[in-house]
């Protein structure tokens, strides 16, 4: 099964992708996590992406298309995958189509900007494995420590309130038109945020089984 999780920054795509990946036994591919790892390692890719990411702007389509093409060619993607945070623009979606990649479902996670702004201040992420937490909604077992790999959790620089506002503006302008793109291909499903991680994943799994 090939899936896309679409939604504003902070909608909970990473959290839901991790749950769905376990449930469906397919990998999650997050361009945000791949880019953050590149920035942390100081690679050429990381150097190119760093400033865009910190300001809340999008990294160029060319870079993203290259990353995703390489990643989808890896063997663990053979039985399907969940894309988290990609495609984010119409040219990225077109590039996937041009490579013959089709999606069974594109799940648009619907949530008000106001709720996102309230939530983002509590988000913590693992700089090593990319797992994401929330200090009250999805706390790690031990405060400040990743359940998956034991690394110290951090606050993302781009989760500062002013940056979140500009990331939301970028989402509405560049990414939201993808809903129409995938609706016209008959694969869009919209799932309202249910207020808790468990209720939202149950709602997503329900529509995937319909």
Which residues form the catalytic set? 13, 88, 123, 156, 167
Least spacing, CB of residue 178 vs ligand AMP, in Å: 11
Is the CB of 59 or the CB of 126 nearer to ligand AMP? 59
Is the CB of 74 or the CB of 142 nearer to ligand AMP? 74
Least spacing, CB of residue 85 vs ligand AMP, in Å: 3
Euclidean distance between CA atoms 100 and 2, whole angstroms: 12
Least spacing, CB of residue 209 vs ligand AMP, in Å: 26
| SS3 per residue for the chain | CEEEEEECCCCCHHHHHHHHHHHHCCCEEEHHHHHHHHHHHCCHHHHHHHHHHHHCCCCCHHHHHHHHHHHHCCHHHCCCEEEECCCCCHHHHHHHHHCCCCCCEEEEEECCHHHHHHHHCCEEECCCCCCEEECCCECCCCCCECCCCCCECECCHHHCHHHHHHHHHHHHHHHCHHHHHHHCCCCEEEEECCCCHHHHHHHHHHHHHC
Is the CB of 71 or the CB of 167 nearer to ligand AMP? 167
In the bound state, the residue with its beta carbon closest to ligand AMP is: 32
Q: Which residues make up the interface to ligand AMP (CB under 6 A)?
A: 9, 31-32, 35, 52-53, 56-59, 64, 85-86, 88, 92, 158, 167
- Bridge partners, residue 5, by sequence: 84, 107
Is the CB of 92 or the CB of 201 nearer to ligand AMP? 92
Tokens, residue 146 = 């990743």
Least spacing, CB of residue 26 vs ligand AMP, in Å: 18
Is the CB of 162 or the CB of 210 nearer to ligand AMP? 162
């Amino acid at each position: 099964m090939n899936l896309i999780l679409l939604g504003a920054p902070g909608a909970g795509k990473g959290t839901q992708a991790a749950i769905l990946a376990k449930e469906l036994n397919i990998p999650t591919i997050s361009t945000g996590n791949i880019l953050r790892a590149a920035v942390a390692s100081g690679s050429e890719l990381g150097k190119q992406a760093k400033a865009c990411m910190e300001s809340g702007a999008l990294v160029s389509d060319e870079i993203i298309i290259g990353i995703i093409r390489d990643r989808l060619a890896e063997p663990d993607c053979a039985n399907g995958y969940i894309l988290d945070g990609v495609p984010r623009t119409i040219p990225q979606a077109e590039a996937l189509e041009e490579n013959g990649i089709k999606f069974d479902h594109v799940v648009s996670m619907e949530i008000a900007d106001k709720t996102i702004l309230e939530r983002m201040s509590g988000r913590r992420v693992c700089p090593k494995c990319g797992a994401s937490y929330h200090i009250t909604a999805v706390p790690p077992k031990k405060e400040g420590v990743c359940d998956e790999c034991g690394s110290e959790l951090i606050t993302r620089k781009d989760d500062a309130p002013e940056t979140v506002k500009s990331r939301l503006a970028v989402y509405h302008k560049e990414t939201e038109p993808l809903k129409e793109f995938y609706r016209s291909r008959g694969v869009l499903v919209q799932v309202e945020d249910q207020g808790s991680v468990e209720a939202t994943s149950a709602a997503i799994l329900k529509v995937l089984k319909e």
